[in-house]
Amino acid sequence: MDTRFVHAGSDPRKQHGYVNPPVYRASTVLYEDIEAMDASQADPLKREMPVYGRFGTPTGRAFEAALTDLEGGYAAVATCSGLAAITTAILSFVQAGDHILVSDSVYLPTRKFCDSLTGLGVEIEYYDPCVGKDIDNLLRPRTRLVYLESPGSTTFEVQDVPAITGVCRSRGVVTVIDNTWATPAFCRPLGLGADVVVHSATKYLTGHADSILGAIVCTEATFATVRATAIRLGQCASSDDVYLGLRGLRTLGVRLRHHQHQALELARWLEKQDGVVSVLYPALPDDPGHELWHRDFSGAAGLFGLELDPRYRKPAVDAFLGELRLFGLGHSYGGYESLIVPADPVSHRLPGTWSGRGPLVRVHVGLEDLDDLKADLGAGLHALSEQRA
Ligand SMILES: *Cc1c(COP(=O)(O)O)cnc(C)c1O
């Protein structure tokens, strides 16, 4: 994979030998003559010949080719954000009257989008992320799509992806999975039977907190539908952002291994600290998702959940967060810098699928020195413990 991160989607011979592709900033494409213009109409998916900037540029094609290669797909579509990749992928397959099953642990904006589909006549049902092969019992004649995200946002349940995709394949139901956490460095869901993989490339793929970008990677059977939907929706990504995504990919392997190393060390250390109930991180041997993670993933990203003692309430958690200097208080993750954000899954989850005990925060372990990061969290936990009364 490391060799592929460095070379995927790259063809310096097509760009005068320069290693990196140019950033095409483009709307209009000029044709030689009317014959060339007419000929360009022949490609309904608007990929073979340059037509208009909205259909993508050679910079975007390089990014799509790279992700296709890394995920082992047939083709990919770059989108303006991760959420746009998710909404486009779902809209590609559902119509009024359909029923879709969505994991209860999905990224909250994904859930909000799915809820909005109710107004378009689509029935949404959330399922326990740990359902496994019992997804079979939830499929109905009108079920068109099953949506997965593994591990789940903020609560980190690992799904039995092959069990779910196996059942869905045999019943003709499309599966879409969010692979933002693992990236193709650590998991390749098409190989586990998924039909479509979506990414927030904003996170690890770009890796430097400097762009918003998404991608949909498809199998041969799903690509034409997804691409046609993306065209209909006016979905596109700017060449500047795809350039940053492509540049991030080149160092993905080495960055993720270091994020993993740091996160695992910090998670093990945190587990032993006063005030911590548990660390939700599938790479830890006692994590409920560890076995599935070990089977289906080749590594763990630098993002985990930290569950604090239930005796602490919001003022104590605020004191903990307020003490931190290196862990920035901010959304997103996957950049070089450490981040932390309070997470409250209880407000929107199904009853029973999340049995958290204490307040939860989500930690992204960046590339700073590990001892500095420990000292920072240590100071935060000290401030937490002072709030005991
Ligand atoms: C951030 C995130 C998204 C949305 O990505 P944007 O690029 O911010 O639109 C989707 N899924 C997961 C799991 C994410 O963490």
- The model's confidence at residue 360, banded by pLDDT at 50, 70 and 90, is very high
Tokens found for residue 46: 């608007």
Q: Which of 13-17, 47-51, 385-389 has the highest mean pLDDT?
A: 13-17
Question: What's the Cα-to-Cα distance from 312 to each of 144, 154, 156, 270, 328, rounded to whole Å?
Answer: 43, 19, 22, 16, 21
The per-residue pLDDT for range 71-103, each reduced to its tens digit, is 999 999 999 999 999 999 999 999 999 999 999
Under CATH, what is the fold of the domain 253-385?
A: Aspartate Aminotransferase, domain 1 (3.90.1150)
Q: What is the pLDDT of residue 109?
A: 97
Q: What is the mean pLDDT of residues 137-152?
A: 98
Strands 75-79 and 214-218: antiparallel
Q: Please say if 107 is a catalytic residue.
A: yes
Residue ranges covered by each domain of the chain: 2-250, 253-385
Tell whether ligand 1 has an atom less than 6 A from the beta carbon of residue 212: yes
For 62, other C-beta atoms within 10 Å of its C-beta total 26
Pocket probe mutation, ligand 1, options 180, 198, 244, max atoms within 8 Å of Cβ? 180
DSSP structural state of residue 195: S
Structure tokens at 25: 């900033």
| C-alpha distances in Å from residue 343, one per residue of 83, 184, 264, 304 | 19, 26, 20, 11
Query: What average pLDDT does the structure give for the chain?
Result: 96
Residue partners of 137: CB distance under 8 A and separation at least 6: none
Residue 309 parent element (H or E): none
Total residue length of the chain:
389
Band the pLDDT of 2: cuts 50, 70, 90: very high
- For a substitution probing ligand 1, which of 203, 206, 332 has the most ligand atoms within 8 Å of its CB? 203
pLDDT the model gives residue 44: 87
CA of 197 relative to ligand 1 center, distance in Å: 13
The tens digit of pLDDT for each residue in 41-63 reads 888 898 888 899 999 999 999 99
First to last CA, the chain: 51
Mean pLDDT of the region 99-110: 97
Q: pLDDT band at residue 355, thresholds of 50, 70 and 90?
A: confident
Model pLDDT for residues 217-226, shown as the tens digit of each residue = 999 999 999 9
Phi-psi region of 77 (alpha: psi -120 to 50; beta: other; left: phi over 0): beta
Q: If you search the block for the tokens 């939700």, which residue do you land on?
A: 280
Distance from the CA of 49 to the center of ligand 1, in angstroms? 31
Active-site residue, from 98, 178, 195, 241: 178
Q: How far is the CA of 203 from the centre of ligand 1 (A)?
A: 7
Band (351; pLDDT cuts 50, 70, 90): confident
Indicate whether residue 180 lines ligand 1 (CB < 6 A): yes
Ligand 1 atom, smallest distance to 332 CA? 1
Indicate if the pLDDT at residue 388 is higher than 80.
no
Is position 38 annotated as part of the catalytic site?
A: no
pLDDT tens per residue across span 174-231? 999 999 999 999 999 999 999 999 999 999 999 999 999 999 999 999 999 999 999 9
Let me know if 25 is a catalytic residue. Answer: no
pLDDT at 40: 87
> What pLDDT is stored for residue 345 in this prediction?
80
Q: Flag whether pLDDT at 389 surpasses 60.
A: no
Q: Is the CB of 162 under 6 A from ligand 1?
A: no
| pLDDT average, residue stretch 64-69 | 98
> Is residue 137 predicted with pLDDT exceeding 60?
yes
The answer as to CATH 3.40.640.10 being correct for domain 2-250 is yes
Residue 149 and residue 207: Cα distance in Å, rounded?
20
The predicted pLDDT at position 117 comes to 98
Asked whether the beta carbons of 296 and 181 are under 8 A apart, the reply is no
Q: Give the pLDDT band (50/70/90) at residue 261.
A: very high
User: What's the whole-model pTM score?
Assistant: 0.97
Average pLDDT of the residues in 110-131: 97
Instruction: Name the helix (H) or strand (E) containing 64.
Output: helix 58-71
